């Protein structure tokens, strides 16, 4: 009888169908799955708000603060032995119970405090704007997203209504042809405020990092030998004079222009507010005027604008809206800036969601090449980066400085 029981238990162990119940998933696989789920949720948040912009309703911004999960697998076996009188040897009844449980959990924060709302309604920081261009983002892609309108000599070039193909193409042509062969760029000039006495010797890396954390910077001090005369530079390392430094508050003015050498500063941080030369003490023009300048949007304004793009593409099954993307060799190629599809069949890896209107939409996964190149996922990534940075900003204006597209 004992031999029969052992044989039955051995048979019972061999009945486990797969290793799922006996070997838990590796930690790297679990972590990667949660990573993908969090990334998908953040991308979907941007697309949903763009669709709300299409519907011209209020937006809701959330962020996953933490994502945890546990995975449990259980295997239990039992065997019941019944001995009958009469010498028939009795019977053995084996049993097997398998179980598996995955318990993910996350903390979702709703970003609706006053600081975040001020940041969403404030104009794009031109310092960040220039940094994006320096990092390799296509300039015309950023200009199409961020620039609301241009006023030059009484001529107004608006970039607010993508459904008006003539006006939209007029703005795209202005980026390329006015003036020709020159790219619109972010210019800057600094008027530093002294924040410390002169410091001898060049600052070390630790000092630079500590000063930068306080939104300050080191600036070299230029000594003059006589009134109005600069020292004559010496030749050779042995004759190089010791430099002095001072901690300063940058107080930088930035503006958009085709030529940074020009004295004209057309715009800094909001429509209707123009930083002119220091000699001009006239007050800034009130917001909403048509004074010459380049007017930029807020982050929320960009999302509303993307919603208008989706609205224009969705009516009467129009083709995707194409933007002149500048290439490294100076040429331009036309690519779609933001596409949300409803008709057709989504593919593997596409971002599929059911919108508030009850319809199912999808955003195609990024494809590195092909005739239908688009920038949708790149724009989603950009918006996520900007919204993440807004949570850390401390130097925000008390009120919104741009108007959101109605």
The string of pLDDT tens digits covering residues 329-375 is: 778 888 999 999 987 788 888 899 999 999 999 999 887 665 567 89
Mean residue pLDDT of the chain comes to: 75
Q: What is the pLDDT of residues 393-402, one digit of tens each?
A: 655 544 433 3
Q: What is the structure's pLDDT at 63?
A: 80
Q: Assess whether pLDDT exceeds 50 at residue 272.
A: no
Model pTM above 0.75? no
Q: Higher confidence at residue 345 or residue 180?
A: 345
Supply the Cα-derived Rg of the chain in whole angstroms: 32
Q: What is the structure's pLDDT at 46?
A: 95
Q: Assess whether pLDDT exceeds 60 at residue 177.
A: yes
What span, in angstroms and rounded, lies between the C-alpha atoms of 44 and 350? 11
Q: Assess whether pLDDT exceeds 60 at residue 43.
A: yes
Average pLDDT for residues 271-292, to the nearest whole number?
42
What span, in angstroms and rounded, lies between the C-alpha atoms of 246 and 218? 6
Q: What is the structure's pLDDT at 375?
A: 92
Tell me if 272 sits within 8 A of 285, measured CB to CB. Answer: yes
Q: Higher confidence at residue 353 or residue 260?
A: 353
Q: What is the structure's pLDDT at 317?
A: 63
Q: What is the structure's pLDDT at 101?
A: 64
Tell me if 49 sits within 8 A of 303, measured CB to CB. Answer: yes
For the ranges 95-99, 223-227, 306-310, the one whose mean pLDDT is highest = 306-310
Tell me if 122 sits within 8 A of 397, measured CB to CB. Answer: yes
Q: Assess whether pLDDT exceeds 80 at residue 27.
A: no
Average pLDDT for residues 30-36, to the nearest whole number?
82
What span, in angstroms and rounded, lies between the C-alpha atoms of 390 and 395? 10
Query: SS3 for 11?
Result: helix
Average pLDDT for residues 23-52, to the nearest whole number?
85
């Amino acid at each position: 009888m004992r031999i029969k029981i052992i044989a039955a238990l051995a048979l019972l162990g061999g009945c486990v169908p797969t290793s799922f119940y006996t070997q838990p998933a590796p930690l790297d696989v679990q972590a990667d799955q949660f990573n993908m789920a969090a990334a998908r949720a953040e991308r979907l948040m941007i697309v949903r708000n763009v669709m709300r912009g299409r519907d011209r309703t209020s937006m809701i911004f959330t962020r996953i603060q933490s994502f945890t999960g546990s995975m449990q697998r259980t295997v239990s076996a039992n065997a019941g032995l019944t001995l009958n009188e009469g010498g028939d040897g009795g019977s053995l009844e084996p049993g097997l119970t398998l179980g598996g449980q995955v318990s993910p959990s996350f903390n979702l924060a709703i970003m609706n405090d006053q600081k975040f709302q001020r940041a969403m309604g404030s104009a794009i920081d031109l310092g960040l704007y220039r940094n994006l261009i320096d990092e390799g983002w296509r300039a015309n892609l950023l200009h199409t997203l961020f620039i609301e309108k241009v006023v030059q000599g009484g001529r107004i070039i608006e970039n607010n209504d993508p459904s008006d193909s003539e006006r939209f193409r007029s703005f795209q042509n202005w980026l390329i042809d006015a003036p020709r062969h020159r790219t619109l760029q972010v210019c800057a000039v600094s008027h530093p405020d002294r924040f410390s006495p002169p410091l001898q010797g060049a600052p070390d890396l630790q000092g630079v990092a500590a000063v930068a954390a306080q939104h300050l910077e080191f600036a070299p001090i230029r000594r003059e030998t006589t009134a109005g005369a600069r020292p004559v530079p010496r030749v050779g390392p042995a004759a190089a004079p010791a430099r002095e430094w001072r901690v300063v508050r940058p107080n930088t003015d930035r503006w958009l222009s085709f030529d940074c050498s020009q004295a004209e500063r057309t715009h800094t941080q909001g429509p209707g507010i123009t930083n002119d030369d220091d000699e001009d003490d006239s007050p800034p023009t009130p917001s909403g005027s048509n004074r010459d300048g380049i007017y930029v949007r807020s982050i929320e304004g960009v999302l509303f604008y993307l919603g208008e793009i989706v609205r224009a593409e969705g009516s009467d099954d129009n083709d995707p809206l194409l933007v002149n993307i500048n290439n490294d060799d100076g040429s331009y190629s036309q690519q779609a800036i933001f596409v949300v599809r409803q008709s057709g069949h989504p593919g593997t890896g596409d971002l599929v969601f059911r919108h508030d209107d009850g319809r199912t939409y999808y955003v195609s996964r990024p494809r590195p090449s092909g005739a239908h190149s688009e920038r949708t996922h790149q724009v989603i990534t950009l918006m996520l980066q900007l919204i993440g940075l807004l949570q850390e900003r401390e130097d925000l204006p008390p009120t919104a400085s741009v108007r959101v597209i109605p």
